[in-house]
Structure 1
Amino acid sequence: MAKRFTKPSINWLEIEKRCPPNQINNYKAFRAKSAVYLQRVEANPSVMPTIDWEAYKKLLPESDIVEKFKSELEKFKVPYPSDDVTKQIDEQWKTIEKDIEKFCAGQNKHIDAATVELTRIRSLPKFEDMTMEMFFHLYPEQALDPVNKPTYWPHYPEDQPGYVAPEEKAKKATKK
């Protein structure tokens, strides 16, 4: 019988941390099925039990059927595929591991920037408590400035004199 390929080194807690909340039931069902399967595999011996051919010869002394069975069993070999893929997977893993680390570093930068922005947003006063002066102080490029940049009601860019559509700006930029 072939050797066992069981790896009890599955980090279930790490997998559970990464599991989305809407799939936690599927994860728990999978983990239970995996545990049951592993118990079933470990309950069986890793090698076939030996057959006591002498006991069978005593039961059938004049028949040579026991010798035929013994020779046939010795000839019989269960074909087991050779493992050619593990080396390829290891080589692929070595080549993409650097890319994964680079990607994770980039994503961590995005996470850090988003955390800083979230902290800044949480430090702002509530929308209901904010005045127009506070908004102008926090966002001068977006706030209405009637002194320096007067606009007409309803204060949308396309309703202002001298407005140029972005498509036309792009056309003008490509012509130059």
Structure 2
Amino acid sequence: MAKRIVQSSVNWAAIAERAPETEKAAFLAFKAKSDGYLRKMLSAPAEPPKIDFAKYKSTIAVAGLVDNFEKQYSAVKIPYPEDKYTAAIINDEKKTVQEIEKFKVQSAQSIKEAELRIEEIGKLLPYSQMTYEDAAYIEPDLTIDIDNKPSFWPHTEEDYIFDEPEAADNQQIGEQKKVDAGH
């Protein structure tokens, strides 16, 4: 005979704790729908009602009709659905637990590296006492390299070092020289 489900195996309290505030209404609607299905299933009897075939044999005059129906009725077997998903869910849970453990190890390594970096930074000179040479020695990637990286991002014109004046300035300087030469 089919296994009778007595109560829901869902831990609604645990799900409610994890549901974000924005999804509470959807969660409550889903829980209400699930509870409705469970109530409907529990309202049905565990066994189908018994049919009194002897009573029908005595009242129905057609010979063999009730016997044929009784034979067909007793042959009907409604199978309980086979559980195909529990093993897959357990395997997925094991994989997830392994991934979580792997993530914990990676996170612990990242935390350890960050703590070492914080310790290194703590041993540095205070920034108020640090010179540009000190900063270039400690963090060469963060300092200006005139040959390869002439400015910091966002690379505005003020950040560039110009050896030659602008073209307009050159013309003005040339004209100034002509004026000066005429005097």
TM-score by length of 1: 0.55
Shift of 1:62: 5.1
One-letter amino acid of the counterpart of residue 98, structure 2: D
Give the aligned partner of residue 132 of structure 2: 149
Deviations 1:39-85 (A, max 9, x none): 00000011111111111112114532111100111222335554455
Deviations 1:122-164 (A, max 9, x none): xxxxxxxxxxxxxxxx8x789566x62179xxxxx67x45364
Report the identity percentage.
Answer: 26
Distance 1:82 1:37, change over 3 A: closer
Greater mean alpha carbon deviation, residues 77-86 or residues 40-49: 77-86
Distance 1:25 1:102, change over 3 A: same
Task: Check if 1:66 corresponds to 2:50.
Answer: no
Distance 1:73 1:108, change over 3 A: farther
Give distance in 1, aligned partners of 2:79 and 2:68. 21
One-letter amino acid of the counterpart of residue 22, structure 2: N
Give distance in 2, aligned partners of 1:87 and 1:56. 47
One-letter amino acid of the counterpart of residue 102, structure 1: E
Aligned residues: 133
Secondary structure (helix, strand or coil) at the match of 1:66 reads helix
Give the aligned partner of residue 181 of structure 2: none
Q: Whose RCO is larger (CA < 8 A, sep 6+)?
A: 1
Give the aligned partner of residue 24 of structure 2: 24
One-letter amino acid of the counterpart of residue 148, structure 1: T
- Structure index of larger Rg: 2
Secondary structure (helix, strand or coil) at the match of 1:29 reads helix
Which stretches in structure 1 are left out of the alignment for 5+ residues? 118-137, 152-156, 166-176
- 1:99-138 paired onto structure 2 within 5 Å: 99-100=98-99, 102-103=101-102, 105-106=104-105
Aligned alpha-carbon RMSD (Å): 3.9
One-letter amino acid of the counterpart of residue 96, structure 1: K
Which stretches in structure 2 are left out of the alignment for 5+ residues? 116-121, 136-141, 150-183
Shift of 1:89: 4.6
One-letter amino acid of the counterpart of residue 26, structure 2: N
TM-score by length of 2: 0.53
Give the aligned partner of residue 15 of structure 2: 15
- 8 Å CA contact retained: 2:2, 2:79: no
Give distance in 2, aligned partners of 1:163 and 1:141. 27
Shift of 1:93: 5.3
